[in-house]
Structure 1
Amino acid sequence: MSVAGSECPEALDRAARALTVEFATSTPGSGVGYLLLHRARPAHFALAHVWDGVDLIQSYWTSTLDRPAELRPHRAGAVGCVWELEVLAFESAQWAASCEASDRSDRYLGTHL
């Protein structure tokens, strides 16, 4: 997601994907989740999530607008900004809807916002 008239830079995407792979492989859970990139007005944000049963495990990074690849941990306890919460709510609803299915990963990954 991004501020109107802008896009998330490729450098942010590459850096966030590398951190997400590291996060997801070191996190207990299903290995199923999502990455949200956000080019906001004050900075870039990357939120990686992995589902562990009914729990959502998150890692949250930020970088300055002029150095998108230099991601660092975002402040402890932060969940997301008001714009990001819409995506988290959608993903939560999709996981809950597919949680009891035998093919829950496929069902969850087959639905997009």
Structure 2
Amino acid sequence: MTWKFGKIKINGVKCKNDAYVHVDGSVTKRDKSLSKHLKEEYGQTPLTDRELVFLRNEEPEVVYVGTGFCGQLPITYAAKRILDGFDVIMMPTSKELKKALKKEKRKYAAFLHVTC
């Protein structure tokens, strides 16, 4: 994983947007349309339960949440309830997160916020 503010490259895939890393290692762009309706309330598009539905099907052993350069990603209460069902590691999207993902031996999924 390489990362600069607003850009990320993970598993060979370059993204200029937030991304999901799935248990099988595939990477997909974040579908903000699922949460955009809450942008005004939170000041930016928060991570919501609607975006985390894939976790139920993939059954990761651990979920990483990269909260952005300064760790400012808002997360809704409903999303936190879903995350409570997993071992969760939440930290700013940084070199430390990169190191953690490289060392991770468990089956994991991740959400990576690439700005703020």
| TM-score bracket relative to the smaller structure | under 0.3
| Larger proportion of helix | 1
Larger radius of gyration: 1
